Structure 1
């Protein structure tokens, strides 16, 4: 008599577990929200490029000193990346995401009315201090809502924000300046950031209902696997900084990103000047080359993420090595070119390789650390990566000044991805953490590959 009842319960339980194991369609709303926030803070950051000369004229700052504003911003940005992840893991990604966007918007607006260079430099540092925090919030949200073996595509879409931010700022800011002065561009994007932050706060949920924290013995709250019921590290667990520092694979990925960004941001910073000075190319043609380079990234990032999800089983290391190899070769090849046509033809390949590896290592970080420190680990990693963009302009400038060689400058850039390949090669394929999406419906536990 009990058999039908028992079977019915089993069937209902199995159906419920299967339902919980399936990713929620709401994950796409979360991805759009994270992407939109990251795009707006990227526009906020990129507004300085086309506005800088006009800001200098308005505040009486010589061109040679304009770099101080950018340096102040990036100091705040790196600090924010390093510390913002702590806030993500302590207070939740929704709070940090919307606070980051709101704060950046408020101080963008303040900068648009800054009365002096001294105040402006300080305000730029505060803008960076807010803007950098939404990266780790976005990574934690996306890694919470998407299966870990399917993070390539969403991270590819998420990281298009940096490329789009640069493109949008360079397209819109000059028109705003021509219309009503440089301050208007900061007012417009500042207010837009504040306005968008409000619906994002109401819309975003930190994690799927199936992964909400449940009480366990001792009163602590930890994440519970929706299929097996096993306790996982929760967002309110104690942050293990020592564990992060001792995580060899995570440290290697941090160094890998530093070396990779050495080549990427070194090219962005110096390509125009090197082509103009090294080959007497017109500024318009040099700008076209860099524009094609950047636009390619908008397509390359999600495509490469999708391909690795679909055909590589979520593997990250081997595709990253392959793309970094193409990147290094393309940089050295670029250094051998001499005609505008050749530069333009090579720029799409260089852009795809320069940016294509970035969503892969962004997606790799959450696989190497417990879920309780995803925000912290992602923020610290990005802070280390950004240091590459701070140091490489100085190195390339020194090499070009000493040698007056276009080729030597690009060999210096290529050293970065070459070292990145050597650093990521020892990352262990078995080092991935177990995640809820790696469970089959039977409830047996599997470990996802990293390589």
Structure 2
């Protein structure tokens, strides 16, 4: 990466990072459409279903926090290959479980190994792509979360209908293992990795005082509270609260995520912010406010037709903010600490995913109110929009430099003195 032009290999890197993140998103999203069948199979009470998702997200948060540090230390290739192999194998194990305690333990372990793809992927993207392409690249990378929901909700209900819920975990676990092997063979960490301080432990102390990163963490926490609260609970809420069939509920969630993928909302939002040059803070705020309003509207609906009408709008608002919050991380973090910053910030984001399943279940169980459950979901993005108010001006400074690793390392060195704008 010492030449003036970025390497064409950057697209191979982006493809593999995107595929890895997509597959772990599929694994994460499988629980939503499978949960009702698991409840019947393992005799899990409705109010306790969210505990399975919470166990997964506890492991996911821990691996995000530790995985970013390991990425900066050991390199993305090792971390991605190892984590995908372990997560896929554990998905297969969960698909064979008949015990609630074992199932809870394995779910936590799957999350523990599946949470590093974001930080490792963002590290590689920052190394191999120039700053002028980060918004678009981040948008493409972040389509993984919505596409994972589409795949899971399109495939799992059909597999349950024709086989059982175990088949879903066996299938997706096997695909994850295959992808781990592809990453081990084809991914490279790049010159920036070779030029860094060997395998010295990265010093993450500058990140602990970075105000922008903390606020980005709070913004993403609120956003994912709404997004993954919907992904985790919407199937069951529609089935139990509005009495529609599991397949119809799956179709609603597929549309929720598929529209965001089909219209390319994440790459488009990233591309627009790259081109317009007015920063990402204001678009994030607007999107999160619209997300809040749409969740409240969805919670007021009762018919399958109405769900189908509102689901596309909800899907766009639920996913459009994520590439912007992700693309804002590298600049205040600096190249040397991009993995640690991405992992730490995403760990804060995923706390929303940890807490919301356990929060919605008791509310719906106690009140029986579909609308009350969605009001709980809407609290998150509203608080996220308020957090973005405190983020400093992030309008980019244009530069002709495209030597991303060198520039990132210089930025990392400058960040050691404390927060950057």
Measured against the shorter chain, the TM-score band is: 0.7 to 0.9
Within-5 A mapping of 1:84-103: 84-103=67-86
**Greater RCO, 1 or 2 (C-alpha within 8 Å, sep 6+):** 2
Paired residue for 1:132, among 94, 115, 126?
115
Query: 1:262 and 2:225 equivalent?
Result: yes
Distance 1:238 1:436, change over 3 A: farther
| Alpha-carbon distance between aligned partners in 1 of 2:66 and 2:320, rounded to the nearest angstrom | 27
Query: 1:304 and 2:269 equivalent?
Result: yes
Within-5 A mapping of 1:395-406: 395-397=359-361
How far the C-alpha of 1:175 sits from its partner, in A, is 4.5
Within-5 A mapping of 1:273-352: 285-298=248-261, 299-312=264-277, 315-337=279-301, 340-352=304-316
**Where does residue 9 of structure 2 map in the other structure?**
26
| Alpha-carbon distance between aligned partners in 2 of 1:333 and 1:57, rounded to the nearest angstrom | 30
RMSD: 3.5
How far the C-alpha of 1:185 sits from its partner, in A, is 3.3
Distance 1:433 1:134, change over 3 A: farther
| Alpha-carbon distance between aligned partners in 2 of 1:71 and 1:350, rounded to the nearest angstrom | 23
**Where does residue 193 of structure 1 map in the other structure?**
176
Within-5 A mapping of 1:55-66: 55=38, 60-64=42-46, 65-66=48-49
* Contact 2:153–2:250 under 8 Å retained in 1: no
Distance 1:49 1:144, change over 3 A: same
**Where does residue 104 of structure 1 map in the other structure?**
87
Q: TM-score, normalised by structure 2?
A: 0.83
* Contact 2:220–2:384 under 8 Å retained in 1: yes
How far the C-alpha of 1:68 sits from its partner, in A, is 4.0
Which secondary structure state, in structure 2, belongs to the residue aligned with residue 151 of structure 1?
A: helix
* Contact 2:51–2:357 under 8 Å retained in 1: no
1:271-324 CA distance string (max 9 Å, x none):
4555566666666555443332121222322221222223336x2212212222
Which secondary structure state, in structure 2, belongs to the residue aligned with residue 22 of structure 1?
A: coil
- Tell me whether 89-98 or 396-405 shows the greater mean CA deviation: 396-405
**Where does residue 11 of structure 1 map in the other structure?**
none
Question: Where do 5+ consecutive residues of structure 2 fail to align?
Answer: 415-419
Paired residue for 1:161, among 144, 152, 158?
144
1:105-127 CA distance string (max 9 Å, x none):
22223333446443333222222
Question: Where do 5+ consecutive residues of structure 1 fail to align?
Answer: 1-15, 215-220, 223-234
Distance 1:116 1:31, change over 3 A: same
* Contact 1:368–1:431 under 8 Å retained in 2: no
How far the C-alpha of 1:424 sits from its partner, in A, is 1.2
* Contact 1:368–1:433 under 8 Å retained in 2: no
Paired residue for 1:361, among 325, 346, 362?
325
Q: TM-score, normalised by structure 1?
A: 0.78
| Alpha-carbon distance between aligned partners in 1 of 2:356 and 2:295, rounded to the nearest angstrom | 14
* Contact 2:32–2:233 under 8 Å retained in 1: no
* Contact 2:277–2:395 under 8 Å retained in 1: no
Distance 1:118 1:349, change over 3 A: closer
| Alpha-carbon distance between aligned partners in 2 of 1:378 and 1:103, rounded to the nearest angstrom | 21
How far the C-alpha of 1:240 sits from its partner, in A, is 3.0
How far the C-alpha of 1:267 sits from its partner, in A, is 3.0
**Where does residue 153 of structure 2 map in the other structure?**
170
**Where does residue 422 of structure 1 map in the other structure?**
386
